[in-house]
Amino acid sequence: MKWMLLLWLVACGDNEVVPTDPFVGLVQVSGLSPFGPDCNGNPQGGMTKHGLEAEPSLVVDPANPHHLIGAWQQDRWSTGGANGLLGAASMDGGKTWTQSTAGFARCQGGAYERATDPWLAITPAGPAYEIGIGFDNTGPRNAVLVSRSTDGGLSWATPEVLQQDDDPDFFNDKDSITADPTMPDRAYATWDRLTGLTHPAQMIGTGPTMLSIGVGGVWDTPRGIFDPGVDAQTIGNVFVVLPDGTLVDSFTLIGQTSAAIPTTRATVIRSTDHGVTWSGPIDIAAMAPVDLLDAKHDIDIRSGAVLPQVAVDPVSGQVYVVWEDGLGGSVERIVMSTSTDAGLTWSAPVAINPLPTVSAFGPTIAVATDGTVGVVYYDTRDDDPHDQSTFLVTAWLPTSHDHGATWSEEPLTSPFDLQPSQLGTEYFLGDYQGLSAAGAVLVPFVAAAVSGHDPTDIFVRPVP
C-alpha cells in the first residue's frame, strides 16, 4: 500500500489547488453524534463540542483476528468527560462496522451525567467487556462501571457498578480492563481511587491502585493492591498478562502530589498468582514530560503525557513500556523501556521517534505474534511554522523486528490540521489511542481532526 505524504495536490485546472484526503487507506469508524443537546439532563459546567470523538480503545478477538471491537468518548466536555461512550463492532477486520452503546451516561440511557476513559477486553471464552468511568458534573457522584457483551460487541448489558463514591473527597480515575489469555473467562478491572480532593494543597491525599477480578461476568469486591502512601498516587494502571500467567501492572507513581511540581516515575508491580498477591513497586525510570504547545496559536496539546502504555510479546513474554519524555531537553520525545525477565528489571529508556527537534506525543504500543513491536504516535514535523492558517500533525506507525533495537516507520495518515480538535484552551484527541495486534498484523485505531462541522473522527487501518 502506498501512503500519501503530501497534503496538497495541484489539480488539472490552472493553479487550482485542492486538498487531498489525509486518511487514504483508513476506514472511518465514527460518524455524526447521535446525542441531542442537553441529553444529560442538568445544566452542565463548561462547554461541549458536538461531534468531537476522542480517546479510542480497540480490542481484537483472540479467537478471530477479523473480529474487532472499538469504543471512544463522544462529545467531549471542556471540563472533563463526554456525553457518552460509543462503540462499534466489526466482523470483517475493520472494513465495516456496526455501532453499539453501553449505558454509561444519561445520553446513552445510563445513570450518570458524563462518562470517560473507555477500555475494552475480549476473553478467550468469548464474552467481551467494556469499562468506563461515570460521573456527575453537578455533584460528587462517580463510579467505575463494567458492561458485558455476549454477542461480540453488537449489544451490551446494563453496566455493573464496581465502585461508587458520593463523597467529594473521592474520585475514581483512569480505569482499564484486561482479559487473561491463560484462563477462559477471567478479566481484571483496575483504576486509581483518589482521596483528599477537597484539600489538594495539604499532604493528606492518596491514590491507591484498585483491582476487581471478574470470572464469568461475576466481579469480586474491589480491593487496593498497591498503596503509595500519603501525598502520593498512582495513575494510568494497565495490566498485561505474560504467557505463563504472570500479571504486570504498569502505571505512573506520582509523589509529592500537593506540591506545585510533583514527581513522576514509570513503575510496575507484579503478581504470579493471577492477582491474589502483588509485589512491591519496581522502578522503571523517572518521567520528565515537557509542555506541548501550538506556539502559532498559543494552544496547548493535551496528550496524556504521564500515562505510560504497556504491551507484551505473546510468545516470548518480553514487556515493553512507552511514554512521552523531554529527556532533559525542550521537545517531547517518545521513549521506550523493555524487560526480558517478566518485569523484574528494565532497560534504560531510549527515544524511538527519529527527529529530536520535533514535538511527538500520544504513544500507544502493541506486539504482534511474530514479535513485531509497533507504536502509534503523532508529531509536528510537517507543520509550517510560517503558515498561520493551520497546525499540522501526522500520525506515524514505527515498527521494530529486533525487540526495539532499530525502527522503521510509515505515515499512518497524511498531515492533518489539528485545530478542529480545539476544546477550550487545548487540542484533544485523547489521553491514549488504540493499537492492537490481529495475529501478525498491527491494527491502529486512532482519532484525527477532520473539519469544523465534524471536529474529529475515529479511524482504523483494517486487517487485510
| Position 60 pLDDT exceeds 50 | yes
Give CA–CA dist 219/450, Å, rounded: 40
The whole-angstrom separation of Cα 22 and Cα 227 is: 45
pLDDT score, position 12: 37
pTM: 0.95
State the pLDDT at residue 441.
Answer: 98
pLDDT of residue 459: 98
- Cβ atoms within 10 Å, residue 36: 9
Q: What is the mean pLDDT of residues 316-322?
A: 98
pLDDT over 50 (residue 162) = yes
Cα separation of 182 and 126, whole Å? 13
- What is the mean pLDDT of the segment spanning 58-71? 98
Q: How confident is the model at residue 416 (pLDDT cuts 50, 70, 90)?
A: very high
Least confident residue range of 34-43, 107-116, 213-222 = 34-43
- In whole angstroms, what is the distance from residue 332 CA to residue 290 CA? 6
What local confidence, expressed as pLDDT, does residue 19 receive? 57
Length of the chain: 464
Whether residue 374 is predicted with pLDDT greater than 70 in this model: the reply is yes
Q: What is the largest CA-CA distance in the chain?
A: 71
Task: State what percent of residues in the chain have pLDDT above 90.
Answer: 94
Given a cut of 90, whether residue 6 has pLDDT beyond it is no
Domain extent listing, the chain? 287-447
